Structure 1
Amino acid sequence: MNYSFNEARPALEVFHTGDSVYAYNLLGAHLVNWNGRNGCVFRVWAPTARSVSVAGEFNNWDNNATYMYDIGYGVWEVFVEGVEEFCAYKYCIESEYGDRLMKADPYAFHAQTRPGQASLVYDIENYSWNDGEWLNKRKENNISSSPMNIYEIHAGSWRKYPDGNFFNYQKLADELIPYLKEMHYTHIQLMPIMEYPYDGSWGYQATGYYAPTSRFGTPSDFMTFVDRLHCEGIGVILDWVPSNFPVDDFGLAKFDGSPLYESNDPKTSKRDSWGTCLFNYARFEVTSFLVSCAMFWLDKYHIDGLRIGALSSMLYLDYGKSEGEWEPNKFGGKENLDAVDFVKRLNTAVHMYHPDVMMFAEENTSWPKLTHKIEDGGLGFDFKWNMGWMNDMLHYMSLNSMWRPFNHDSLTFSFYYAFSEKFLLPISHDEVSHGKGALIKQMPGKYDEQFAGVRAFITYMYAHPGKKLVFMGTEIGQFDEWNFNEAIQWDLLEFEKHKKLRTFFKELNKFYLDCKPLYELDAVWKGFDWIHHDDYTNSVIAFKRTDKNGDEIVSVCNFQPIRRDEYCIGVPKFGLYDEVFNSDEERFGGSGVVNGKNIKTESMKIHGFDQGLSLTLPPLSVIYLRCTKELEPDEVQK
């Protein structure tokens, strides 16, 4: 939609009140035909500017050639005849102090590749989508009771050409889609794809909130990438950063010469530890900018979910700040009330227009009711990243086995709050960077034991309530910490252990998708029961997962590198049990200690049951068991 001058007036008012969800139709650069003349209408919000002009290739970058008109509410406009797609431009903004600032368009749909800083005129309305079947299926699907196994990637370093150059969106799709299907992932999550100037920020300091990065191609190329994934049954989740933005002189910082997208209060306008500015959620036009941005990726790129990173830094006024660097809210608390209101507006808008889209919160405190409905006092997210689980388990798994008995609570605590929110269990890029080392490198012991540790941990993770996310490279056992400048070390698959580890991930992913007890009742107590949780001396736990039909999977976890023979656990049914998955199988690189099929229960009073199983627990392993045939107690004794 391109607004004429008269049509823009109502849209301006909605933008000004903070209620706009389509501000990108009003602001930015739009190719139009006005009164028979082809060209481009430019609009930008710069309320304290003395004057604004647009300079670009069409006027030889003359700052004085094309001045814009103030059309109200701080928005400036000009129509320029003859401007065509891919034309580079910037706004020259004269501040109230007389300075002239060259700024990229906050609403630009395309941008030059760094080190270029200019915006590019682009028509995003010409792409013909082919993913109607996927979108219809998405509307019908209840994601809460469906499997979700996410593969997180950094587009610039999943694979690269031998000379170190990036894959473009087309080549990335060519290589990535067959791999995702082979490995049985349901979704990908892309680290920020919005345009950003500094590679070392990994995309978390964006300057083009409405522009997919041109490092890998055009906006239409990115649409094709998403479209192809959808046509192959794979969802796409994006990292999105509404918390902070960089201070680059061509970006949002002091956009019209004064604090605009940020606050004018130094205590709320910046985060010194990150070297960035913080969005001013108290300003309605900023709310319109951000909410419309989220809607833009859902509307124009058919994105299936947005993950809000660093949510805690938004919700708390004192986050990362020392005494004297922040002021309490009007009630004397540390909660950022404007940010809370923004989050509610955001999730309300998204779920109003796209009820089948997922909103994820990365929040590392115990802020209550993140995934509860707003009308019930919640913030309206669909899933919360379970950072507590992640921190506890990585701490536990990194311990020498002799210290695990003294840290048993790290293993069991997460189950006691597992249903307070709708959780996702993340082993993300943050857990394999910042000097932490790759996941396998965090495992104690010698070479074989490190692989066994990864297999046991991941098999336990897939049985734990919550959706799943694993960062690229984890599945092949890359020992080196992730480096955004280098591709994943795929040549490791020439070595047997690494190849078998990938086979393990492939088979576990497939088992997860086929096993309803592991996902169908993820968010309610009905889907989980303890069997055995207090054998801290042996570092063993056992629990069962249940689906809506009452079918069960029993998970037994041994976190010591010691084989345990005749280890007894209680089970809910008399009968025959099969071992349906074992992280220690030889084909996965394990020692091959297995229990097999048709394991008979025995009469015993144990763990609150009248029957149990005598098992062999492989060293450092997790096994899954399923009752394949129920019997009467006297039949079992025969």
Structure 2
Amino acid sequence: MGARLVAGGEGAHFSVWAPNARSISVIGEWNAWDAARDPLHAARGGVWTGFVPAARRGMLYKFRIVGADGVAHDKADPYALMSEAPPATASVVWDHAYDWGDATWLARRAERQAPTAPMSIYEVHLGSWMRGPGGEHLSYRAVAPKLIAHVRALGFTHVELMPLTEHPFYGSWGYQATGYFAPTRRYGEPQELMALIDALHQAGIGVILDWVPAHFPNDGHGLVHFDGTHLYEHADPRRGVHPDWNTLIFNLARHEVRSFLLSSALMWLQVFHVDGLRVDAVASMLYLDYSRKEGQWLPNHLGGRENLEAIEFLRALNQAIHAEVPGAIVIAEESTAWPGVSHRVEDGGLGFDFKWDMGWMHDTLRYFGRDPVTRAQHHRDVTFRMMYAYSERFMLPLSHDEVVHGKGSLVRKMSPGTGGGSARLANLRLLYAYMFGLPGKKLLFMGDEFAQVREWNHDGQLDWGLLAEAEHAGLMKWVGRLGHLLRAEPALYELDHDPLGFRWAVVDDYKRSTLAFLRRPRQGAVILVILNFTPMTWTNYTVPFEAPGEWVRMLSSDEAQFGGAGHDGPERLIADHSAGGALPCAATLDLPPLTALVYRGPEVKAYDAAALELRESLAAEAEAAREGAVTG
């Protein structure tokens, strides 16, 4: 489909799906945009085709479509490989020729992206991450060495690029796409994006791309009313118009529309070597009444609110990706309690590899926004997540959605208590330790690593000048230490989705707003995380253990190098039988205020029969608790 150059580049075949069109011509630079010179011919299945000898690589073109209504419209090619730089809207005859150098990365991709592998993702909007000296966008090639150096320094395993599919309105951040096969021209040609991905891979960094099959904009040159009928979208606005964004919803009952989207997804993975897709707005696809009031939506043929066509499409998408691109992953941004999002299709699930844990994000940010004096009354906000943590393969996101549209920056969400800006940064260090310590993969939006103070603005670049201030530079150093610790310690990632990998040490000390938990690997050193969510120092604080042993401090968020006050906590904890009472063993310490402490403890042996039995028991308890919480 689209424009495909013949061998030697002298001429191109054009194909476009428009079953209800009366006539279609290719208009372009070579024929002075004259619709009479290069007509296409109707073939089977509603596809129009033709060969244009004068078409050459780099030439602009569109389709002149006389629709079923008799009206002529000039449309961009839905399958174009490249588009004219916005705000211009023509398509460009192009190819995908590129000499890749990432074979080593691809050979190990499946291993690096397995549920048992470390994964921490840096979410990036390329147009506003960093700009040139005159405020201009950096090209895909120009941004590559800067982005790679930054990501490697912070220990992230992946970057997630907000949508790069061509989009007419820059302020949509790419979430309203017209070119599902063309990377946006704002930052260069397709081969330049390939070079960026290639360079990231050669630096050991994976690439995830945001992809949007939920809706598309109503720009006249795009998919809307493509052949004079509602071809890609539903005709009935109760199914076809998205009320939140005034966009159009794909008609997934049409197999050609499903094929269009499946082909787009596979192209990004196969041709551009992208390692995974994060599918946007999945919840809006699953529910027919999403964001609609009574009378504004149509039930399915069974009378329910589930979008049966979307469910089948998402299952087919995930099955196709896993079959055609082994090792690639698919992540769902799904904000409801839809069951089995990350379960296998064969088991009744949707087939995604991971699901964003939006509940954790909302609970956590609400908790950190509270004055520490009142946190004791809301302790459940930081413990409830473990009641359902193993119901899906979760990813913990602190994404761009939390720092736009008047929500303020992440650091501004932190309660200052009585400590002002320093307390906000202490809370942010504490938040990141809590996030990196919990089971689940991690995602952090750009700018949050150094506490961007202003709300994110896509029309500029990040406030990199803040790194001249010690506290902001210290926070970024803290994020880097957490990122590298995550990769170095199997306890922090290997059993992310296995109940045996997590155990509370202190869970119900709400009066002092503290938590302590253990992370264990299949085999190796156990990690202890202790969190004090108050500005109080708790002296002789007791942490229980099941066995005696020595625990060595690896990190303290209050160290001066991270912007803290220098209350580092003890270098060692000795767990012994001295506590007496009901505790098998315990260690005591003075717990610094608003501080996270991370200790490395004794090594554990590989799974044995007792451990496997314990895992099954814990999983059953977690499932029962989750069902009880949902019912309640």
TM-score greater than 0.5 by the shorter chain:
yes
Give the number of aligned pairs.
601
1:145 aligned counterpart, secondary structure:
coil
Q: How does 1:511-590 map to 2 (within 5 A)?
A: 511-549=485-523, 551-590=525-564
Q: How does 1:431-450 map to 2 (within 5 A)?
A: 431-445=402-416, 446-450=420-424
One-letter amino acid matched to 1:617: L
Conserved 8 A contact 1:570-1:607? no
The aligned counterpart of 1:47 is 19
The aligned counterpart of 1:18 is none
Is there any run of 5+ residues in structure 1 with no aligned partner, and where? 1-26, 631-638
1:505 aligned counterpart, secondary structure:
helix
The aligned counterpart of 2:466 is 492
The aligned counterpart of 1:13 is none
Conserved 8 A contact 1:268-1:278? yes
In structure 1, how many angstroms separate the alpha carbons of the residues matched to 2:109 and 2:583?
41
Aligned-residue offset at 1:565 = 1.1
The aligned counterpart of 1:465 is 439
Conserved 8 A contact 1:577-1:629? no
Conserved 8 A contact 1:455-1:583? yes
Conserved 8 A contact 1:575-1:629? no
The aligned counterpart of 1:634 is none
Aligned-residue offset at 1:628 = 4.9
Q: How does 1:573-612 map to 2 (within 5 A)?
A: 573-603=547-577, 609-612=583-586
Structure 1 residues 253, 607: CA separation in 2 closer, same or farther (over 3 Å shift)? Answer: farther
In structure 2, how many angstroms separate the alpha carbons of the residues matched to 1:575 and 1:595?
18
In structure 1, how many angstroms separate the alpha carbons of the residues matched to 2:551 and 2:47?
70
> Which of 70, 74, 91 is 2:46 aligned to?
74
Identity %: 44
- Deviation sequence 1:216-247 (CA, Å, 0-9, x none): 11001111110011011000000000000000
The aligned counterpart of 2:107 is 136
Conserved 8 A contact 1:465-1:523? yes
Alignment pair present for 1:89 and 2:93: no
The aligned counterpart of 1:244 is 215
Conserved 8 A contact 1:30-1:41? yes
The aligned counterpart of 1:209 is 180
One-letter amino acid matched to 1:488: L
Where has structure 1 moved over 4 Å in runs of 4 or more?
604-608
1:468 aligned counterpart, secondary structure:
strand
1:307 aligned counterpart, secondary structure:
strand
The aligned counterpart of 1:11 is none
Structure 1 residues 60, 527: CA separation in 2 closer, same or farther (over 3 Å shift)? Answer: same
Alignment pair present for 1:122 and 2:82: no
Structure 1 residues 566, 117: CA separation in 2 closer, same or farther (over 3 Å shift)? Answer: same
One-letter amino acid matched to 1:399: R
Aligned-residue offset at 1:401 = 1.1
In structure 1, how many angstroms separate the alpha carbons of the residues matched to 2:366 and 2:265?
35
**Residues 230-239 or 546-555, more deviating:** 546-555
In structure 2, how many angstroms separate the alpha carbons of the residues matched to 1:181 and 1:626?
24
Conserved 8 A contact 2:505-2:545? yes
Alignment pair present for 1:308 and 2:282: no
One-letter amino acid matched to 1:28: G
Aligned-residue offset at 1:139 = 3.5
Is there any run of 5+ residues in structure 2 with no aligned partner, and where? 605-632
In structure 1, how many angstroms separate the alpha carbons of the residues matched to 2:246 and 2:383?
38
Aligned-residue offset at 1:602 = 3.7
Conserved 8 A contact 1:565-1:617? yes
- Deviation sequence 1:316-345 (CA, Å, 0-9, x none): 000011110111112221100000000011
**Residues 497-506 or 462-471, more deviating:** 497-506
Aligned-residue offset at 1:604 = 5.1
Aligned-residue offset at 1:618 = 1.2
**Residues 518-527 or 613-622, more deviating:** 613-622
Aligned-residue offset at 1:42 = 0.5
The aligned counterpart of 2:618 is none
Alignment pair present for 1:294 and 2:268: no
1:615 aligned counterpart, secondary structure:
strand
One-letter amino acid matched to 1:468: K
The aligned counterpart of 2:85 is 113
- Deviation sequence 1:242-297 (CA, Å, 0-9, x none): 00000000000111111011111221011132110000110100000001110000
> Which of 586, 592, 597 is 1:623 aligned to?
597
The aligned counterpart of 2:134 is 163
Aligned-residue offset at 1:627 = 2.2
In structure 2, how many angstroms separate the alpha carbons of the residues matched to 1:37 and 1:611?
75
One-letter amino acid matched to 2:28: G
Alignment pair present for 1:509 and 2:483: yes
Structure 1 residues 343, 415: CA separation in 2 closer, same or farther (over 3 Å shift)? Answer: same
One-letter amino acid matched to 2:257: V
In structure 2, how many angstroms separate the alpha carbons of the residues matched to 1:265 and 1:529?
51
In structure 1, how many angstroms separate the alpha carbons of the residues matched to 2:471 and 2:10?
62
One-letter amino acid matched to 2:40: M
The aligned counterpart of 1:636 is none
1:334 aligned counterpart, secondary structure:
coil
Conserved 8 A contact 1:196-1:206? yes
In structure 1, how many angstroms separate the alpha carbons of the residues matched to 2:561 and 2:463?
22
**Residues 534-543 or 185-194, more deviating:** 534-543
In structure 2, how many angstroms separate the alpha carbons of the residues matched to 1:538 and 1:363?
34
In structure 1, how many angstroms separate the alpha carbons of the residues matched to 2:476 and 2:240?
46
Aligned-residue offset at 1:364 = 0.3
Structure 1 residues 511, 37: CA separation in 2 closer, same or farther (over 3 Å shift)? Answer: closer
1:246 aligned counterpart, secondary structure:
coil
Conserved 8 A contact 2:569-2:597? no
One-letter amino acid matched to 1:263: H
In structure 1, how many angstroms separate the alpha carbons of the residues matched to 2:415 and 2:14?
58
Q: TM-score, normalised by structure 1?
A: 0.92
In structure 1, how many angstroms separate the alpha carbons of the residues matched to 2:591 and 2:521?
25
In structure 2, how many angstroms separate the alpha carbons of the residues matched to 1:438 and 1:266?
36
Aligned-residue offset at 1:606 = 7.8
Aligned-residue offset at 1:521 = 0.2
Conserved 8 A contact 1:604-1:610? no
The aligned counterpart of 2:347 is 376
In structure 2, how many angstroms separate the alpha carbons of the residues matched to 1:112 and 1:607?
74
The aligned counterpart of 1:59 is 31
- Deviation sequence 1:533-579 (CA, Å, 0-9, x none): 11111111111111001531111111111111111010232022212
In structure 1, how many angstroms separate the alpha carbons of the residues matched to 2:582 and 2:409?
40
Q: How does 1:250-269 map to 2 (within 5 A)?
A: 250-269=221-240
Conserved 8 A contact 2:111-2:117? no
Conserved 8 A contact 1:315-1:340? yes
The aligned counterpart of 1:319 is 290
In structure 2, how many angstroms separate the alpha carbons of the residues matched to 1:155 and 1:299?
22
**Residues 187-196 or 64-73, more deviating:** 64-73
The aligned counterpart of 2:449 is 475
Q: TM-score, normalised by structure 2?
A: 0.93
One-letter amino acid matched to 2:373: M
Alignment pair present for 1:349 and 2:323: no
The aligned counterpart of 2:338 is 367
Aligned-residue offset at 1:607 = 10
Alignment pair present for 1:231 and 2:202: yes
The aligned counterpart of 1:7 is none
Conserved 8 A contact 1:531-1:607? no
Conserved 8 A contact 2:9-2:57? no
